Amino acid sequence: MDALEFNSRDPMSPAFWDERFGKHFTPWDRGGIPERLRQFVKDTAHGAAAAGLPLPATLIPGCGSAYELAYLSEAGWDVTAIDFSPAAVAAGKEAVGPQWQDRVEEADFFAWQPSAPLQCIYERAFLCALPRHLWPQVAERWAQLLAPGGMLAGFFFFDNNPKGPPFGITRAELDALLSPYFTCVADEPVWDSIPVFAGKERWMSWFRV
């Protein structure tokens, strides 16, 4: 198979992602639900039921094909998935099917506003898709969107390769980035990573202080 060629080199442009979805080059796309997310959903449902609370209103930024949205929605979660790439949004709507496709929105993460307060943000290859100079803005926006007591949970990519995406982070850098707003309450290895993330990602939950 001939190597693919791409015109767009700027991951901050929707065209970068449109081109890759258009050519079906999506090595970050799992095509299903990670097992650790399944466990998180079960644990959250148990805790909410025990406390008499509703399931958390949740955002999936940079959702891509948005498989997790359908899974969370079917589990009773109030979840919205956003992406600024029209091609990614189209792929997401197709993946989740007509029942949930109105929950996949084309939007800029830095400008999007929830219709109701959020209690959870699910991180899956969003931070590592963005150039490192934008990470402080991402962390600040996560904190703005989540009220105290909310949860930032998902998969974080650790690597020191200067090129990307995916752009890796060190644990010390992640702590410095998030500690002004969050406290880490879970940090676990991931055993079912797809090849692009294998051995370099961890499941983490961060409590909004």
Q: What is the mean pLDDT of residues 146-174?
A: 95
Q: What is the mean pLDDT of the chain?
A: 94
Query: Can you read off the two tokens belonging to residue 97?
Result: 């099917």
Q: Residue 123 maps to which CATH number? A: 3.40.50.150
Which amino acid is it at 80?
A: T
Confirm whether 52 is domain-assigned. Answer: yes
Confidence bin at 163 (pLDDT 50/70/90):
confident
Pair type for strands 201-208 and 146-157:
antiparallel
Confirm whether 3 is domain-assigned. Answer: no
The whole-number pLDDT of residue 3 equals: 64
The whole-number pLDDT of residue 99 equals: 96
The pLDDT tens digits for 2-49 are 567 778 788 989 999 999 988 888 888 887 899 999 999 999 999 999
Q: How far is it, in rounded angstroms, from Cα 208 to Cα 185? A: 10
Rounded to two decimals, the pTM is: 0.94
Cβ burial 81-94 (10 Å sphere, 16+ → b, else e) = bbbbbebbbbbbbe
The pLDDT tens digits for 109-150 are 999 999 889 999 999 999 999 999 999 999 999 999 999 999
Confirm whether 10 is domain-assigned. Answer: no
Query: 111 lies in which domain range?
Result: 34-208
Confirm whether 104 is domain-assigned. Answer: yes
Q: pLDDT above 90 covers what percent of the chain?
A: 83
Confirm whether 5 is domain-assigned. Answer: no
Q: Decide if pLDDT at 108 tops 80.
A: yes
The whole-number pLDDT of residue 123 equals: 98
The whole-number pLDDT of residue 25 equals: 86
Answer for the pair 174, 156: CB distance below 8 angstroms, yes or no: yes
Residues in a beta bridge with 61: 82
The crossing angle, in degrees rounded to 10, of helices 67-74 and 35-51 is: 30
Q: What is the mean pLDDT of residues 169-187?
A: 98
Confidence bin at 1 (pLDDT 50/70/90):
very low
Structural domains of the chain, count: 1
Categorise residue 21: left if φ over 0, alpha if ψ from -120 to 50, beta otherwise. alpha
Preceding amide of 165 cis, omega within 30: yes
Burial class of residue 141 (count of CB atoms within 10 Å of its CB; 0-12, 13-18, 19+): middle
Q: How far is it, in rounded angstroms, from Cα 79 to Cα 70? A: 9
Answer for the pair 158, 188: CB distance below 8 angstroms, yes or no: no
Confirm whether 25 is domain-assigned. Answer: no
Confirm whether 43 is domain-assigned. Answer: yes
Query: Can you read off the two tokens belonging to residue 138?
Result: 């991402």
